[in-house]
Amino acid sequence: MKSSPLHPLLARRLEEAEMRLREVDEELARPEVAQDPTRLRALAQERADLEPVAEVARRLRQLAEEEEEARGLAREAQDEELAALAREEAERLEEEIASLSKQALHLLIPSDPLDDRPAVMEIRAGTGGDEAGLFAGDLFRMYRRLAERKGWSVELISLSEGIPGSIKEVIFTVRGRGAYGRLRYESGVHRVQRVPETESQGRIHTSAATVAVLPEAEEVDVELDPSDLRIDVFRSSGPGGQSVNTTDSAVRITHIPTGIVVTCQDEKSQHKNKAKALKVLRSRLLDRAIAEQEARRAQERRLQVGTGDRSAKIRTYNFPQNRVTDHRIGLTVYRLDEILDGDLEEIITALRLAREQERLEAGET
């Protein structure tokens, strides 16, 4: 039997975290730091972030030593019963090391400068007619419930409804700590399998909706050349073409180089609609650049999670089996009702860990 060593890059990151913690403690002990509130506060926060990582590193070393002792005893013991007990202990320790390594990986996930940005989310009904629109409505409610659980706020940008309860397209912004970082892997095609209320023979129908998650872009991220924009104004309308505004307040902006079109008509003010549309356009252009970068890296590194492929089927919601499956990581959970109520933490965490594991396997730092 052989013990399973930590991945070299993970071991190195843990060692670097411990070294940095020692450096921070040395700095905190200096008299001049105590007299600098800003520096003291920054070091105290860094120490608070590093201490859990260092604790995991210490525990992993202890477990590795205990595992090696148990395996040594299993090899050398003359008594077969004692050897069997030692093997069982070694296997238990190996499982604990694997579990703790995942925890360490979670703690070491590098912060992306975009993670704390607001997330601009777009949900569109796909194949499946009215049932697809109803499912798009379910997804919108799911993300709103997730936002409530996280203490995030949701700002509606644009909404196009179909039959009662269904959505053709909705664009909204989620604001809060870590919003984009935790929602970014929701981009892709979401598929639902269920029996529609109008289905008299109980047949299961399959329909889909697409979700796009974009980091809210700032003006410094994307510079828009006015000559690249075609801006049209028109009269807002409600469901079925019903007029809801007597002025030309709706705005449609076309980015000529890319062909991206953004329409906003929810505000009564043309100025507000234009500002919202420009914000969404910047976010789409920034997301386009990020997706291209991720796709290039995925091609080079053979990564599967977060490749920037917005057309990939990522998840299936199966109502008859109360099942949700994320196809990128092969994760299946049997609590569909809770997930549609916004309890996505298990899936989001698994995706983030899988992404970091891919980075480790690919040798990325």
Full set of structural domains in the chain with CATH:
8-107 (1.20.58), 119-362 (3.30.70.1660)
pLDDT at 308 > cutoff 70: no
pLDDT at residue 22 in the model: 93
* Residue 323's pLDDT band (cuts 50, 70, 90): very high
Quote the percentage of the chain above a pLDDT of 70. 85
Once rounded to an integer, what is the mean pLDDT over residues 9-38? Answer: 88
Give me Rg for the CA atoms of the chain. 26
Query: From CA 251, how far away is CA 268, in angstroms rounded?
Result: 11
Query: From CA 160, how far away is CA 41, in angstroms rounded?
Result: 47
| In contact, 3 and 68? CB cutoff 8 Å | yes
Phi then psi dihedrals of residue 110, to 5 deg: -65, 140
Minimum mean pLDDT range among 8-12, 84-88, 142-146, 316-320: 8-12
Once rounded to an integer, what is the mean pLDDT over residues 101-123? Answer: 80
pLDDT at 7 > cutoff 70: no
pLDDT at residue 198 in the model: 67
* Residue 9's pLDDT band (cuts 50, 70, 90): low
Once rounded to an integer, what is the mean pLDDT over residues 7-11? Answer: 71
pLDDT at 242 > cutoff 60: no
pLDDT at residue 69 in the model: 92
* Residue 235's pLDDT band (cuts 50, 70, 90): confident
Once rounded to an integer, what is the mean pLDDT over residues 48-66? Answer: 89
Residue 229 one-letter amino acid: L
Once rounded to an integer, what is the mean pLDDT over residues 72-96? Answer: 90
pLDDT at residue 241 in the model: 42
Once rounded to an integer, what is the mean pLDDT over residues 75-79? Answer: 87
296 contacts: CB under 8 Å, gap ≥ 6: none
Q: Which two tokens stand for residue 41?
A: 């506060």
Query: From CA 137, how far away is CA 146, in angstroms rounded?
Result: 14
Q: 6: helix, coil or strand?
A: coil
Query: From CA 151, how far away is CA 128, in angstroms rounded?
Result: 33
Once rounded to an integer, what is the mean pLDDT over residues 81-104? Answer: 88
* Residue 29's pLDDT band (cuts 50, 70, 90): very high
* Residue 338's pLDDT band (cuts 50, 70, 90): very high
* Residue 1's pLDDT band (cuts 50, 70, 90): very low
pLDDT at 111 > cutoff 60: yes
pLDDT at residue 149 in the model: 95
* Average pLDDT over all residues of the chain: 84
Q: Which residue has the higher pLDDT, 177 or 144?
A: 144
| In contact, 191 and 312? CB cutoff 8 Å | no
